[in-house]
Amino acid sequence: MNATTITIIGVSFIFFMTTLGSAFVFLFRNKISERINSLFLGFASGLMIAASVWSLILPSIEQSSSLGKLSFLPSALGIILGCLFLVVMDKIIPYFLKQEKKVSENDKIKQTFVKKHGLSKSGKLFLAVTLHNIPEGLAVGLAFGNAFIAGQLSTFYSALWLAIGIGLQNLPEGAAISLPMKEQLGSNKKAFFFGAMSGVVEPIMALIGIWLSTSLSNLMPWFLSFSAGAMLFVVAEELIPDAKNSYPSNIGSLGFIIGFVLMMILDVALG
């Protein structure tokens, strides 16, 4: 394969795996039981925390090593900014949507993302995972951009392996978006659509990363930790409490452990 073909495969693969994960929603024809819903919410919580630590926070600290003992600074500030971003979005987005007075078939979709006083659980989850996909797409783009600069086929294969690793991580993330949305939207197709759309930013950011590969690398620690902050905020505020409240047992905690261990294995083995 030539360099262009390898790049196209790598950039396409990361989106394809998110879409494939979102398709898991079609495996459940009937309404998801409270027990299974609690399991999925716990699974999504564990998955997102592990992804935040191994895919985002640790790489952010490593890429800030030039700061010495202050290498934690971009990560710490980025996490705080990511949390604050979701808090602000929680107030701003519902305000703008309230300005729309037309009643249409899209009302149910709006209600899925916006509750009375802010973003819904699904809305925050969709936003957080989408934000998380931005630095992942950039990382793939930067890897391929550096390969183009180096001009060696071996560097393209290294970038491809990075894309494969991130793509495999996207498989459970797509499911973590679409399955909870099925409960609120009442439609497999709509839940699948939004799950897939959460991954659209990755190939877009990958192309941007290729274009900006020579100048954007210094900002990666901030992008990574910002996304981690958004994900941790959603897990702490929405997913874990709902996982415990959905079904009065430890099934949500079991799902949390499964999701955490699975994403840890994927991150360490493929990172």
Q: Count other Cβ atoms within 10 Å, centred on residue 104.
A: 9
| Percent over 70 (pLDDT), the chain | 82
Query: Where is pLDDT greater, at 26 or 1?
Result: 26
| Per-residue confidence (pLDDT) for residue 203, from 0 to 100 | 92
Any idea which of 44-58, 109-123, 174-188 has the lowest mean pLDDT?
109-123
Please determine, for residue 73, whether its predicted confidence score (pLDDT) is greater than 70.
yes
| Per-residue confidence (pLDDT) for residue 226, from 0 to 100 | 84
Q: Count other Cβ atoms within 10 Å, centred on residue 247.
A: 18
How far apart (Å, rounded) are the C-alpha atoms in residues 209 and 21? Answer: 24
Query: Where is pLDDT greater, at 231 or 14?
Result: 14
Mean pLDDT over 16-32 rounds to 82
pTM of the model: 0.66
Average pLDDT, the chain: 79
pLDDT band at residue 107 under the 50/70/90 scheme:
low
- Report angle CA 57, 61, 65 to the nearest 5 degrees: 170
pLDDT band at residue 9 under the 50/70/90 scheme:
very high
Please determine, for residue 72, whether its predicted confidence score (pLDDT) is greater than 90.
yes
